[in-house]
């Protein structure tokens, strides 16, 4: 059996980093971790090929070779997934689809032969058994959660590692919180399930042996969802490994209560984590109550951010506007919060109701849904009928994005961040190839940002300030400037 694993293309969005990847000659920010795990679950006798359409085009020869095409996608890849499925149908190839998009919206894809929903470790073996018996069904629903201790190591060998900016890995699934707008608990539950530290070490060792050196993103919904297990199992193992075999920088997603646990922050930094994404959402407490983000209530979130920065963790922030409780002042408060905390990477999105969430069901009952959630983070669309006038909401949202990512505001945030940030002492010995790539990125940034770009004055001011005040952070400052170039272009494309 010839199995083609196909990953649809991402549009140009906030998290695609499309305009930044060219500086380091990369094609995609992250690999398709779900499909790599699916590959490891397929029968050993099958021949498997991976085509990540963010890295290379899918050829007719790929489809002619395939007996079956496995497709996985997220909501943001919906249109690309539709085009991919249509192409497969034209070539008469059997299509098996799974992942977040198809699990949330199975009825929207009638042309898919087999929908394998939920977690592949549970539903895929049932499909494979029926396929082998000659009577596969159309839908394999999600019936239970997987035991991650039995999850196989992803087939990293299928990747061209040099085409990616960062590798991805997963330790846990699920989140103990239950935010109304989030589909994580609907997909993976509120009790975080984890792999063993041995599984994670084996996966990292495989990446290391394949030659990977650089960033590794723990894609966990909330890495600190099970703090006790994290402290007693994974982090000690990562810290010990880092002493023997440095070479990776880690980043992940956490809830803001990380700021309450200084020993845990120290362990994360010692293990090699230098960046965390935090769902802050809004400084408006009425909106936090509205969306059931109760663990963010009653906190001095500015102090929380600064504590994490001083501990050695860059804080990326997720924010939402368009809650019923939002008013005209919300946009100013949000802008002030982001600027004063030095959250350089601030992803601000319009509220969207994702199928499967409590928000979606509530608004559906109220007749306040107008279209599908796009999955985009900064495209100016929403499937929610807001309390605020929609045209006004979009206009203020677009204005907020352009203000946040204007050169003056953005570069000011970098300096604010670097003043608070306690830069970890890394023991990584970068390869010559890595160092040459960094120098090439610096030369390109000097030309594209420092000479041709509208940010050129702010760019050179930042580099001079960094050399004088925080010289160890020079490479980081250049990297953040390159990110800002991408964020500015995506924000300027937001209608409103």
In this structure, the answer to whether residues 302 and 333 fall within a common structural domain is yes
- Which residues form the domain of 223? 166-420
Which pLDDT value is given to residue 427? 54
Mean pLDDT in runs of 10 for the chain (496 residues)? 97 94 95 98 98 97 98 95 97 97 95 97 98 97 94 97 96 95 91 97 97 94 96 97 89 98 97 97 95 95 98 97 95 98 97 94 95 64 94 96 97 97 72 76 95 96 97 95 96 85
Sheet bearing 273-281, strands edge to edge = 167-169, 214-218, 248-254, 273-281, 314-321, 346-350
Q: Helix (H) and strand (E) counts for the chain?
A: 20, 14
pLDDT at 439: 87
User: Per residue in 230-248, pLDDT tens?
Assistant: 999 999 999 999 988 888 9
Structure tokens at 223: 């890495």
Q: Would you say residue 19 lies in a domain? A: yes
Question: Is 159 within a domain?
Answer: no
pLDDT of residue 217: 98
CATH code, domain carrying 256: 3.80.30.20
CB of 291 within 8 A of CB of 281? yes
pLDDT of residue 432: 66
H-run or E-run covering 320: strand 314-321
Structure tokens at 55: 């890295």
Tokens of 1: 């059996």
Residue 438 counted as domain residue: yes
Q: Residue 242 phi/psi, 5° resolution?
A: -65, -30
Task: Residue 55: give its domain's CATH number.
Answer: 3.40.50.280
Residues 185, 328, single domain; the answer is yes
Domain end: 420, 443, 472, which one? 420
Regarding whether 401 and 350 lie in a shared domain, the answer is yes
Per the structure, the count of domains in the chain is: 3
**CB under 8 Å, gap of 24 or more: what pairs does 258-262 form?**
258/224, 258/308, 259/303, 259/304, 259/305, 259/307, 259/308, 261/224, 261/227, 262/307, 262/311
pLDDT of residue 430: 62
- The model's pTM is 0.95
Identify whether residues 373 and 436 lie together within a single domain. Answer: no
Q: Is residue 146 part of a domain?
A: no
């Amino acid at each position: 059996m010839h199995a083609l694993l196909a990953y649809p293309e991402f549009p140009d969005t906030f998290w695609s980093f499309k305009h930044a990847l060219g500086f380091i000659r990369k094609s995609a920010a992250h690999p398709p971790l779900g499909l790599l795990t699916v590959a490891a679950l397929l029968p050993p006798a099958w021949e498997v090929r991976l085509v990540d359409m963010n890295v290379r085009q899918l050829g007719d020869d790929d489809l002619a070779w395939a007996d079956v095409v496995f497709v996985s996608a997220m909501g943001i890849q919906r249109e690309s997934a539709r085009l991919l499925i249509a192409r497969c149908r034209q070539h008469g190839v059997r299509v098996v689809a799974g992942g977040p998009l198809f699990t949330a919206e199975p009825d929207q894809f009638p042309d898919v032969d087999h929908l394998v929903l939920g977690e592949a470790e549970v539903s895929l073996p049932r499909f494979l058994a029926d396929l082998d018996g000659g009577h596969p069904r159309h839908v394999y629903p999600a019936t239970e959660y997987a035991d991650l201790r039995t999850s196989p190591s992803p087939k990293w060998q299928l990747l061209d590692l040099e085409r990616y900016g960062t590798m991805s890995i997963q330790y846990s699934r699920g989140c103990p919180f239950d935010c109304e707008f989030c589909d994580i608990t609907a997909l993976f539950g509120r009790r975080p399930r984890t792999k063993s530290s041995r599984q994670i070490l084996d996966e990292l060792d495989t990446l290391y042996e394949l030659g990977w050196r650089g960033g590794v993103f723990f894609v966990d919904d909330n890495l600190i969802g099970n703090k006790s297990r994290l402290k007693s199992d994974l982090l000690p193992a990562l810290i010990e490994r880092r002493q023997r075999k440095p070479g990776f920088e880690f980043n992940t997603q956490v809830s803001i209560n990380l700021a309450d646990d200084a020993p845990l922050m120290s362990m994360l930094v010692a293990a090699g984590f230098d960046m965390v994404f935090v769902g802050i959402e809004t400084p408006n407490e009425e909106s936090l109550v509205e969306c059931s983000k109760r663990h963010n209530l009653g906190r001095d979130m500015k102090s929380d951010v600064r504590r994490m920065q001083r501990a050695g963790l860059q804080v990326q922030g997720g924010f939402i506007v368009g809650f019923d409780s939002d008013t005209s002042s919300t946009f100013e408060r949000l802008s002030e919060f982001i600027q004063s905390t030095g959250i350089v990477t601030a992803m601000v999105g319009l509220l969207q109701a994702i199928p499967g969430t409590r928000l979606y069901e509530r608004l559906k009952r109220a007749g306040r849904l107008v279209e599908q959630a796009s999955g985009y983070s900064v495209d100016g669309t929403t499937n929610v009928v807001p309390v605020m006038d929609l045209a006004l909401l979009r206009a203020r949202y677009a204005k907020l994005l352009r203000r946040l990512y204007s050169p003056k505001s953005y570069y000011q945030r970098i300096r604010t961040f670097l003043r608070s940030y306690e830069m970890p002492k890394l023991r990584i010995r970068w390869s010559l190839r890595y160092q040459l790539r960094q120098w090439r990125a610096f030369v390109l940034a000097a030309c594209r940002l420092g000479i041709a770009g509208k940010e050129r004055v702010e760019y050179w001011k930042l580099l001079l300030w960094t050399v004088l005040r925080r010289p160890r952070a020079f490479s980081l400052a250049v990297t953040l400037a390159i990110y800002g170039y991408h964020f500015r272009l995506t924000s300027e494309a937001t209608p409103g």
